[in-house]
Amino acid sequence: MTLRTLSFALVTLAVLAFAGSRLTAQEQPTRIVFIDSQRLIAAHPAGQEAARLQEQARQEIDALRADIEPIVQKAQAGLEVTPDERALYDTLVRSLEAVQQRWLEEIAAASQPALQAVDNAIRQLATERGFAIVLDGRVAAESGLVVYAQDNLDITQQVLERIR
């Protein structure tokens, strides 16, 4: 056997081995499922507390915006804003920014147990049932990542049963 024939035989064997391994890998399909993360978080007690806090935050922030709005409208109408109004505007905007930041931190802290519980339940279920990928169905649909998926691929209900 010549060196050229041996090289050809080795390359052929390598290609066949690679192709064989690819065929074996494709025999076991990747299992992809979907969840509705908003529904899961809302079902958890910590998620319900976070939703309550979001409503409180919305009310407080809306009240501050309502105080700011007349000054903004006056300026947009081309009317002169007095130094006192400008100072009030600056104070209200700083207050609004501080309130928004405080609420973001408070809501994030309140929702953390729900996020952790949902994440743990998804991981356990995926491991037990051999799911390779778990996607948020809403995010996948809104982003155009997934165009079509069968209804039976949604495991939200199974995850809900684990977090309740």
**76-110 pLDDT tens trace:** 999 999 999 999 999 999 999 999 999 999 999 99
Q: Does residue 25 share a domain with residue 37?
A: no
- Tell me the average pLDDT of the chain: 87
Which residue segment(s) compose the domain that 1 sits in?
Answer: 1-29
Q: Does residue 152 share a domain with residue 73?
A: yes
Q: Does residue 159 share a domain with residue 146?
A: yes
Q: Is the pLDDT of residue 66 over 70?
A: yes
Per-residue confidence (pLDDT) for residue 164, from 0 to 100: 82
Q: Does residue 97 share a domain with residue 20?
A: no
CATH number where 142 lies? 3.30.910.20
Q: Does residue 107 share a domain with residue 37?
A: yes
Q: Does residue 1 share a domain with residue 71?
A: no
Q: Does residue 123 share a domain with residue 52?
A: yes
Q: Does residue 106 share a domain with residue 83?
A: yes
Q: Does residue 135 share a domain with residue 121?
A: yes
Query: What span, in angstroms and rounded, lies between the C-alpha atoms of 105 and 111?
Result: 10
Domains: count for the chain: 2
Q: Is the pLDDT of residue 132 over 70?
A: yes
Left, alpha or beta for 8 (phi > 0: left; psi -120 to 50: alpha)?
alpha
Per DSSP, helices labelled H in the chain are 3-27, 37-43, 45-76, 83-129, 137-143, 156-163
User: Model-level pTM?
Assistant: 0.72
Q: Does residue 25 share a domain with residue 64?
A: no
